[in-house]
Structure formats: C-alpha cells, structure tokens
Amino acid sequence: MADKTNKHIKRERLLDQGVKMLMEQGYHGTGLKEMLETVGVPKGSFYNYFNSKEEFAAQAITHYIEPFLVRLEGHLQNPQLNALAALRLYYSELIIEVSQSDYKSGCLLGNLMGEIGGSSEACHQSLKTAIERYRSLQESALLRGQQEGVVRMDLSALSMSDLLVNNWQGALLRMKIDQSVAALKEFRSTLLDDYFKC
C-alpha cells in the first residue's frame, strides 16, 4: 500500500514539474532527464509511470486543466454569485495570475495546440477532451445565467461558451506579444460585461 502511495506521489510530482516545464519550454524543449532530476526520480524509472513522453504530455494536459475546472466550479457553487458574476470573477482571477507571471506562460492547452496538436494523436485527443470539458462547464454556467435572467437569450449557451474559450485563447496569445493584459481585460469587458449580458 505504501508503495502505491509513494508511486502516486512521485507520479503527481512528475506531472506538476512536467506542466511547469511544458509551459516554459514547450513539448520539444522539455527534456525528460532535466525533469526527472528536478523531481528526484531515476532516469530509468520514468517508464514505471508513463509509456512514453507523448503519453506523459497527454496526461499532463489532463493534470493541467483539472484545477481550472475545480476553481470555476467552486465559483459557480457560490450562492452569493449569479452565473455571469461567477464567470467574471473566475476570469478576473486568471488575469491577475497571468500578469504576475511576466506574461510568459499563457495556457498550456493553447501552447500545445499550436505546437503538437496536429502531430500527436494522443495529445490531440487529450487536448480535445480538456477543451470540451472546459467549454462544457462554461456552457452550463451560461445556461444557468439565462435561467437567472442575467445572460442574453437570443444566442445559445453553446455558441457563447465557444466564444469564451476561443477568445480567451486568442487574448492569451496577444498578451504574450504585447506583454500586457490589455487584451485579456478587453475580452472580459466585451463579453462578460457587455455582449453576454441580458
């Protein structure tokens, strides 16, 4: 039992470090040797946790998106917030966080979609699933916002959730070039403070 727990802890540490390195260096720039040394796992042991670097990256994508889903769900469960206010608070927190990272990180999903989304089937499927889960949670928030009377009814929650996901990814790319959160703030004010409002 202790062995399984220890293996799980090391696997989580590998995924944590892997996400960090994939964010900073990309898939092709992330070396397994450096990651394993940082975590303190012997090089030959990597394959006790993952079958390949590709499978590792696919798992890292799932590992990466989970806290974002949990955080958004937490805001949506706050009885003091309507759904639109919960979405706005969620994105406002993200804007603060990316501004504190010197505008370098962006989003692992967007970074990997551009780098390997079309060349790795395992990563493609993992990215697709992560985006779908993320979009689906926001769709349910917008549906609730429509029921609460705070989100416009003439557009579907599905199309608005696609707008959120797509525009956020684009704004993150613009942020990297401009070294500014202006595009992220414009995303928030245009969609959540204006376009989506009832």
What is the DSSP track for 50-98? -SSHHHHHHHHHHHHHHHHHHHHHHHHT-TTS-HHHHHHHHHHHHHHHH
Q: Which residues contact 29 (CB under 8 A, 6 or more apart)?
A: none
pLDDT band at 45 (very low <50, low <70, confident <90, very high): confident
Name the average pLDDT for the chain: 93
Q: Which pLDDT score, from 0 to 100, does residue 3 have? A: 60
Minimal CA–CA distance to 113: which of 27, 178, 15?
Answer: 27
pLDDT band at 6 (very low <50, low <70, confident <90, very high): confident
**pLDDT higher than threshold 80 for residue 105:** no
Residue pair 35/49 in contact by the 8 Å Cβ criterion: no
Q: Which pLDDT score, from 0 to 100, does residue 104 have? A: 74
Determine the average pLDDT of the residues in 119-126. 92
pLDDT band at 126 (very low <50, low <70, confident <90, very high): very high
Higher pLDDT, 45 or 22: 22
Domain boundaries, the chain: 52-195
DSSP at 190:
I
Total Cβ atoms within 10 A of residue 151: 23
Q: Is 69 exposed, middle or buried (0-12, 13-18, 19+ CB in 10 A)?
A: middle
Please identify which residue in the block is written with the tokens 């499927």: 125
pLDDT band at 4 (very low <50, low <70, confident <90, very high): low
CATH ID of 52-195, from 3.40.50.1220, 1.20.1600.10, 1.10.357.10, 1.10.150.240: 1.10.357.10
pLDDT (tens digit, 9 = 90+) per residue, 49-62?
999 999 999 999 99
Q: Which residues contact 186 (CB under 8 A, 6 or more apart)?
A: 171
Q: Which pLDDT score, from 0 to 100, does residue 2 have? A: 57
What is the pTM assigned to this prediction? 0.91
pLDDT band at 43 (very low <50, low <70, confident <90, very high): confident
